Amino acid sequence: MNSSLKNTLSVESHKRLLREMLFARRFEERCYEAYVERKIGGFLHLYCGEEACAHGVIEAARPGHDYIITSYRDHIHAIKSGVDPKAVMAELFAKVTGTCKGLGGSMHIFGVDHRFMGGYALVGGPFPLAAGIAKGIKMKGGDEICICFLGDAANNQGTFHESLNMAALWELPVLYVCENNLYGIGTRIDRSTAVVDQYKRVSAYNIPSRQVDGQDIDVVYDAAVDAIEHVRSGKGPYFLELMTYRYRGHSMSDSNAYREKAEERRWGERDPVIILRDRLIEAGEMTLDDYKKLDHEILEQIEDEIIRFAEESPEPPLEMLEKYVLVENDPWVRGGAG
Amino acid sequence: MAEMMFWEAVRRAHDEEMARDPMVICMGEDIGVAGGTYKATKGLYDKYGPERVIDTPISENGFTGLAIGASFIGVRPIVEIMSVNFAWLAMDQLFNSAAKVHYMSGGQLRAPVVVRSPGGTAHQLGAQHSARMEKVFMGIAGLRVVTPSNPRQAYGLLKSAVRCDDPVFINEHELMYNLKGEVPDEEYFMPLEGSEIAREGRDVTLFGYNISVHWALQAADVLAKHGIEAEVVDLFALNPIDREGIRQSVSKTHRAVIVEEAEPPVGVGSEVMAIINEECFFELDAPPVRVSAKNVPIPYNHKLEKAAIPSPDDVVRAVLKMFGK
Ligand SMILES: Cc1ncc(C[n+]2csc(CCOP(=O)(O)OP(=O)(O)O)c2C)c(N)n1
Ligand SMILES: [Mg+2]
């Protein structure tokens, strides 16, 4: 592949990752359609264009073992962490078979069995939660790490600085991954942020950091392996900045009118799925026809398995409304077990 | 009188106040170049420029605090917080600085800042985007809270809030920006205290505010068919709240139902009931009732979401029950 990379993936891994990333793309595009068809409600934030970020980092981690937490743009992080895409789609369809029984919605996918600790809707909210999970890991003495994926604009919340300080001070095993797609809704990064290179902002806390291309999965994976090794070996937090771009509006209610067409075209030419596809084709590991076949299979799987499951699942019963407000049957509510 | 939409009324108030006083500024996320999530500042960036129409970073506590600090020395900021759910983050500055500085400085400093923010349950926005926070804001001494139910109020309340030397929180609603209504052509200032009678009646008073005024009005239409003439009182000011207006209406109808979009504990309903208790208990012919949301975070599923918040039907049912029907 690229000779400057230290950590490389096998051809088999490449093929699997291509499938996963193409699946992610088609999954999100299908969500778009389902939203237009009013099968999905609320706010819907799609991940198209940013696939190599979650896939490259989580590929280098140990999903199911390491903890992962993110923002509202969370479907693909959940799926790559091991959450069943059928349950994700069912959640979006507000069905009882969804990841959160239809109570959460797109911005709140959870898969705690897979240590996917959830998507959160308040910008900057997960920074301290991730540090707290890392604190828990440290107390328990395991070799897990916590990976927190957030956007560039989130770094302007106080929680960013507060969490970095605590994570560095207490040497917490947390990897902060900044998916820098250059925008916070309609505001371009240089209009909201004094220092545009996000990795530079963490140097004040003596946290090692790096900025790499977020469109090339090999580059992301390579950087993530090193970052994760640093964190897992007990050296404290790390900050990885991935330069990326979202191919659609911020959410479904965003007109996307603020971005220049030339910029969109430029990033469109650096499509993470196509980059990996062409790499495999150039290496003689795949033909364009193979790719088309794969695409077709994925589209079929999404329609026949995933959408169908979501469509056919029942809605949550009305009694669910008041179910999870407080923990049920906690003996301490009565002052003890007796 | 011209008809305009709620967002246009808010925008007009901004525009007039900014044209009048060069110290009036507005700031918030995506309010400048993008014109605001609900268009409340549309076109103002081009008209007044980036020094006065400020796109902020996503730093709610920071930019609210900055606005408060600027207000100490003569700037008149109108802050938009994109959604009340994000105003939780700004509560430190709003409560600890804006609401208290006049008092703790022994009257030396003032914080004439306006913070506008929409709340409420909209369309399946889920637990973290469906807060109704008026109940939190209205309990803070030193902070005025108003909540318009129509474009005229939205315009007139913002006009007065900008001129008032107290910090004012304006609680808007995500579902009401396209609501149409008459707004006077000439300049118009609403008082920041008081209430309005949205519909006269003699049998029962329905207290509402913001969106729940509309639910109360719809319920009153239905109740009229049952022979019950409901009075609808619009509590557009929540702090201070109109004790005298509450007393007068209940003294006339002898029955009270409070309609609130929020959960029942510690809210407009409980406050109005306490006031009735204190002001006119012996006027009552029946125990007051509140029609509130379920005491739950808001679920994503549409059916459950609808079941979580009150509807005009719930109001009708509560009133009929009160009359033994
Ligand atoms: C505390 C808070 N403030 C504002 C918002 C509204 N909001 C949602 S996403 C967003 C932009 C975030 O941009 P970024 O962190 O770069 O992530 P991206 O959406 O680009 O992935 C804003 C302002 C919010 N959800 N929470
Ligand atoms: Mg961004």
Is there a domain that residue B189 lies in? no
Q: Which residues contact A288 (CB under 8 A, 6 or more apart)?
A: A281
* Same domain assignment for residues B204 and B168: no
Which residue, B183, B207, B223, sits at the end of a domain?
Answer: B183
SS3 content of chain B, % helix, strand, coil (to 5): 40, 20, 40
Q: What whole-number distance in Å separates Cα of residue A146 and Cα of residue A139?
A: 13
Phi, psi of A236, rounded to the nearest 5 degrees = 100, -170
Domain that holds residue B239: 196-322
Contact residues, chain A, for B310 at CB < 8 Å = none
- State the pLDDT at residue A257: 87
Is there a domain that residue B191 lies in? no
Task: Report ipTM (2 d.p.).
Answer: 0.93
| B233 pLDDT above the threshold of 70 | yes
| A146 pLDDT above the threshold of 80 | yes
Q: List, for residues A6-53, the tens digit of each pLDDT value.
A: 999 999 999 999 999 999 999 999 999 999 999 999 999 999 999 999
* Same domain assignment for residues B268 and B307: yes
Q: List, for residues B162-218, the tens digit of each pLDDT value.
A: 999 999 999 999 999 999 999 999 999 999 999 999 999 999 999 999 999 999 999
Q: List, for residues B293-302, the tens digit of each pLDDT value.
A: 999 999 999 9
- pLDDT tier, A255 (very low <50, low <70, confident <90, very high otherwise): confident
* Same domain assignment for residues B137 and B18: yes
Distance of CA A85 to the CA centre of its chain: 14
What stretch of H or E contains B91?
helix B91-91
* Same domain assignment for residues B278 and B318: yes
Q: List, for residues B91-137, the tens digit of each pLDDT value.
A: 999 999 999 999 999 999 999 999 999 999 999 999 999 999 999 99
Number of other residues whose CB lies within 10 A of the CB of residue A65: 12
Q: Which range among A149-153, A165-169, A252-256, B57-61 shows the weakest confidence by mean pLDDT? A: A252-256
Report the CATH number at residue B304: 3.40.50.920
Of B34, B126, B303, the CB nearest to A258: B34
Is there a domain that residue B300 lies in? yes
* Same domain assignment for residues B160 and B230: no
* Same domain assignment for residues B154 and B8: yes
Say if CB B87 and CB B117 are below 8 A apart.
yes
* Same domain assignment for residues B117 and B64: yes
* Same domain assignment for residues B40 and B177: yes
Total count of domains within chain B: 2
- State the pLDDT at residue A338: 58
Number of other residues whose CB lies within 10 A of the CB of residue A143: 12
Report the CATH number at residue B129: 3.40.50.970
- pLDDT tier, B230 (very low <50, low <70, confident <90, very high otherwise): very high
Number of other residues whose CB lies within 10 A of the CB of residue B209: 29
- State the pLDDT at residue B209: 98
To the nearest whole number, what is the mean pLDDT of chain B? 98
Q: Which atom of ligand 1 is nearest to the CA of B86?
A: 1
B34 lines ligand 1 (CB under 6 A): no
Q: Which residues contact A292 (CB under 8 A, 6 or more apart)?
A: none
Q: Which atom of ligand 1 is nearest to the CA of B30?
A: 23
Which residue, B183, B210, B225, sits at the end of a domain?
Answer: B183
- pLDDT tier, A1 (very low <50, low <70, confident <90, very high otherwise): low
Closest residue CA from atom 17 of ligand 1: A151
Q: What whole-number distance in Å separates Cα of residue A45 and Cα of residue A74?
A: 8
* Same domain assignment for residues B47 and B174: yes
- State the pLDDT at residue A3: 66
- State the pLDDT at residue B238: 98
Residue among A70, A177, A183, A185 whose CB has most ligand 1 atoms within 8 A, to mutate:
A185
B129 is catalytic: yes
User: Domain A16-334 class?
Assistant: alpha beta
Given B60, B80, B134, B174, the catalytic residue: B60
Q: Which range among A13-27, A263-277, A322-336, B160-174 shows the weakest confidence by mean pLDDT? A: A322-336
Which residue, B156, B183, B210, sits at the end of a domain?
Answer: B183
* Same domain assignment for residues B106 and B225: no
B58 lines ligand 1 (CB under 6 A): yes
Q: What whole-number distance in Å separates Cα of residue B34 and Cα of residue B54?
A: 11
* Same domain assignment for residues B248 and B155: no
- State the pLDDT at residue A336: 85
Of B33, B294, B301, the CB nearest to A258: B33
Judged by its nearest atom, the ligand closest to the C-alpha of residue B85 is 1
- State the pLDDT at residue A329: 87
Q: Please report the number of interchain residue pairs, chain A to chain B, with beta-carbon separation below 8 angstroms.
A: 116
Q: Which residue shows structure tokens 């910008």?
A: A123
* Same domain assignment for residues B66 and B91: yes
